[in-house]
RNA sequence: GGCGCUGUAACUCAACUGGCAGAGUGCCGCGUUGUCUGCGCGGAAGUUGGGGGUUCAACUCCCCUCAGCGUCGCCA
């Protein structure tokens, strides 16, 4: 009989055959003259059954997480629920692992871990089925994001992360020493993606961005993955919200199709995305005030509590997990935001997308006329000379354009109902943590 | 960074009004042929975050310090 190399998901196709499989030992149950070994591989897990003295002696040397190669015959489980491998030979591929600080094989134990323990032992906790599922889902989000945009003739770009100036001045920048000169880690690919609209018309980028903000919350990271989009020749920000609407629909559909098991580990329900409703900021504030006894919410921005109330309202009234907030005042947006003169006060052609109570996207149309942009920069008390290189593309003609950015860890956190965005980053960087 | 809370075994947590530092899981040993939270018996495991103080006596009260969690500002 020839031995075939398989992975755990292919068991049913090899009933009665001799197979070889490799993975890490996830659990060991030694019953004396019978032992059960569950191994976890890239695709799932499988139970090995050992009942021969020679194999049992090897099993007794093994410990949880030891990588092994196993050979045996695929058989149906006696209870009829799935398949297992009747073990003929087990090879330990490394020194047996010492006892584990956290029990990653048991879901209840992993769920009960303190966030700091989860992160301190990250190389280990990332192996647990539920933790790694987060990152499989994020990979599918990225895949779907790329797929959708490529189909619409967007080109993927890679902008520099070492930059000479900040974009908006709002978020704090990490300073670094660049051969004796001052440089910064990019807080956003904003300027570069706009410049690339001049060259490629439609671009996107999936890359880390850096924010040196000194807050430690469940929705902030100092390094996170920004899924950026920018497109030219738009008529208004409506073109962007339409695109974003279809994009998130595609991303959710793809995750729903590709990751049913990963989603079920979290009991997560993927939202059905129809036409995402939109409200202006001032309408949103009125709605929030109608729920709160104090009528004091300001009409400049929403606080986290307000974001929650708005989302609850729209879930109740329109059965949607997603809602656009539009018409932010120019004053709370970066200088390049396109103004929208409305009701006496200057509003902007920008929007946020909220998902189950959290902002996952910000975007908008940008100013594309050179003279207007220079005036906007001066209006913020900034020096146009500092933005000389960025302004070049406007000097030589830029079409009406705009874009948005989706926070990968945030959309994953909200989808899976994670208590902190830090759990959605492989190795999160926050104000207190730089390792592992 | 402000405010609040918490630090006890590898992990998750108990310990009354200040009175012998414990449990479950994991780990080690022995037994167990259908486990999947294996089961049974036995065992090891602690500078109670650190430092100082009050007291006959401190995990417990006070001060300092370090760390973690929550929350707010800001943002994706």
**Same-domain status, A227 and A86:** no
DSSP assignment string, A304-357: HHHHHHHHHHHHHHH--SEEEEE--BGGGS-TTBPEEEETTEEEESEEEEEETT
A73 and A169 in a common domain: no
**What is the CATH number for A50?**
2.40.50.140
Say how far A351 CA is from B3 C1', in Å: 32
The ipTM (two decimal places) reads 0.86
A80 occurs within a structural domain:
yes
Distance in angstroms, CA of A54 to C1' of B40? 26
> Which chain B positions have some atom within 7 A of a protein CB?
1, 10-13, 25-28, 31-38, 67-76
Q: What CATH code is carried by the domain that includes residue A224?
A: 3.30.930.10
Evaluate whether residue A71 is within a structural domain. Answer: yes
Nucleotide nearest to A118 (CA to C1'): B11
- Print the domain residue range for A32: 4-92
**Domain count along chain A:** 2
b/e map A94-110, b = 16+ CB within 10 Å? eeebeeeebbbbeeeeb
Q: What angle, 0 to 180 degrees and rounded to 10, lies between the N-to-C axes of helices A281-291 and A304-318?
A: 90
How many angstroms is C1' of B5 away from CA of A120? 22
> Residue A424: which nucleotide is closest by CA–C1'?
B76
State which H helix or E strand residue A139 sits in. Answer: helix A129-151
Calpha distance A388→A88 (Å, rounded): 70
On whether both A193 and A69 belong to a single domain, the answer is: no
Structural domain includes residue A100: no
B30 C1' to A48 CA distance, Å: 24
Q: How confident is the model at residue A306 (pLDDT cuts 50, 70, 90)?
A: confident
In a 10 Å sphere around its CB, with 0-12 CB exposed, 13-18 middle and 19+ buried, how is residue A1 labelled? exposed
Q: Is residue A325 part of a domain?
A: yes
pLDDT digits (tens, 9 = 90+) for A219-270: 888 899 999 999 999 999 999 999 999 999 999 999 999 999 999 999 999 9
Strand partners, A322: A355
What is the CA A65 to C1' B31 distance in angstroms? Answer: 26
Cα–Cα distance measured from residue A152 to residue A198, given in angstroms and rounded to the nearest whole number:
17
Which of A47, A70, A92 terminates a domain? The answer is A92
Q: A143: Cβ–Cβ under 8 A, 6 or more apart, which residues?
A: A254
Looking at the structure, do residues A78 and A165 belong to the same domain, yes or no? no
Which nucleotide is closest to A220, CA to C1'? Answer: B75
Q: Where among A45, A64, A92 does a domain terminate? A: A92
Q: How confident is the model at residue A343 (pLDDT cuts 50, 70, 90)?
A: low
Mean pLDDT to the nearest integer, A311-339: 89
* Domain co-membership, A306 together with A214: yes
Confirm whether A84 is domain-assigned: yes
Q: How far is the CA of A228 from the C1' of B14 (A)?
A: 50
Do A156 and A213 fall into the same domain? Answer: yes
Q: Are residue A37 and residue A135 in the same domain, yes or no?
A: no
* Same-domain status, A87 and A138: no
Q: Is A411 helix (H, G, I), strand (E, B) or coil?
A: helix
Same domain? For A233 and A183 the reply is: yes
Same domain, A343 and A296: yes
Q: Is residue A436 part of a domain?
A: no
Q: What confidence category does residue A25 fall into, taking pLDDT thresholds of 50, 70 and 90?
A: very high
Examine the domain organization and report whether A231 and A83 are in the same domain: no
| Cβ atoms of A349 and A302 closer than 8 Å | no
Q: Are residues A161 and A224 in the same domain?
A: yes
Distance, angstroms, CA A116 to C1' B61? 30
Q: Are A339 and A366 in contact (CB under 8 A)?
A: no
Classify residue A155: in a domain, yes or no.
yes
**Nucleotide closest to A431 measured between CA and C1':** B1
A306 closest-nt by C1' vs CA: B72
A433 in a domain, yes or no?
no
Q: State which of A35, A63, A92 marks the end of a domain.
A: A92
**Interval A128-179: pLDDT, tens:** 999 999 999 999 999 999 999 999 999 999 999 998 876 555 457 888 889 9
């Amino acid at each position: 009989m020839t031995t075939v190399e398989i992975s755990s998901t292919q068991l049913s196709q090899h009933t009665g055959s001799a197979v070889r499989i490799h993975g890490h030992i996830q659990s060991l149950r030694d019953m004396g003259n019978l032992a059960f070994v569950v191994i976890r591989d890239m695709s799932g897990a499988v139970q090995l059954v050992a009942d021969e003295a020679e194999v049992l002696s090897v099993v007794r040397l093994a410990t949880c997480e030891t990588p092994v190669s196993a050979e045996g015959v695929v058989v149906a489980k006696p209870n009829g629920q799935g398949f297992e491998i009747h073990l003929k030979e087990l090879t330990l591929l490394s020194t047996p692992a010492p006892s584990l600080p956290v029990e990653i094989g048991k879901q209840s134990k992993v769920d009960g871990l303190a966030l700091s323990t989860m992160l301190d032992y990250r190389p280990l906790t990332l192996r647990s089925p539920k933790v790694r599922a987060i990152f499989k889902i994020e990979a599918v989000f990225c895949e779907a994001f790329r797929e959708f945009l490529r189909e619409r003739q967007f080109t993927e770009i890679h902008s520099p992360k070492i930059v000479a100036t900040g974009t908006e001045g709002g978020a704090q920048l990490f300073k670094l020493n660049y051969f004796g000169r001052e440089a910064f880690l990019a807080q956003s690919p904003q300027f570069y993606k706009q410049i690339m609209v001049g060259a490629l018309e439609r671009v996107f980028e999936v890359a880390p961005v850096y924010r040196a903000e000194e807050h430690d919350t469940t929705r902030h990271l100092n390094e996170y993955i920004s899924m950026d989009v920018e497109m030219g020749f738009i008529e208004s920000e409506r073109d962007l919200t339409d695109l974003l609407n279809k994009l998130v629909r595609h991303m959710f559909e793809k995750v729903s199709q590709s990751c049913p098991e990963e989603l079920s580990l979290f009991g997560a329900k993927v939202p059905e995305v129809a036409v995402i409703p939109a409200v202006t900021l001032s309408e949103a504030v009125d709605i929030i005030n109608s729920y709160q006894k104090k009528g004091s919410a300001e009409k400049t921005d929403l606080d986290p509590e307000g974001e929650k109330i708005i989302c609850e309202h729209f879930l109740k009234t329109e059965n949607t997990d997603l809602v656009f907030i539009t018409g932010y005042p120019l004053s709370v947006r970066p200088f390049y935001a396109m103004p929208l003169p409305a009701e006496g006060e200057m509003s902007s052609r920008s929007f946020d997308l909220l998902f189950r109570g959290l902002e996952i996207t910000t975007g908008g149309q940008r100013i594309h006329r050179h003279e207007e942009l220079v005036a906007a920069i001066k209006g913020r008390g900034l020096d146009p000379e500092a933005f000389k290189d960025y302004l070049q593309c406007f000097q030589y003609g830029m079409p009406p354009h705009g874009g948005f950015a989706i926070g990968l860890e945030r959309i994953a956190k909200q989808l899976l109902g994670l208590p902190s965005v830090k759990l959605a980053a492989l190795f999160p960087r926050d104000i207190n943590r730089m390792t592992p």
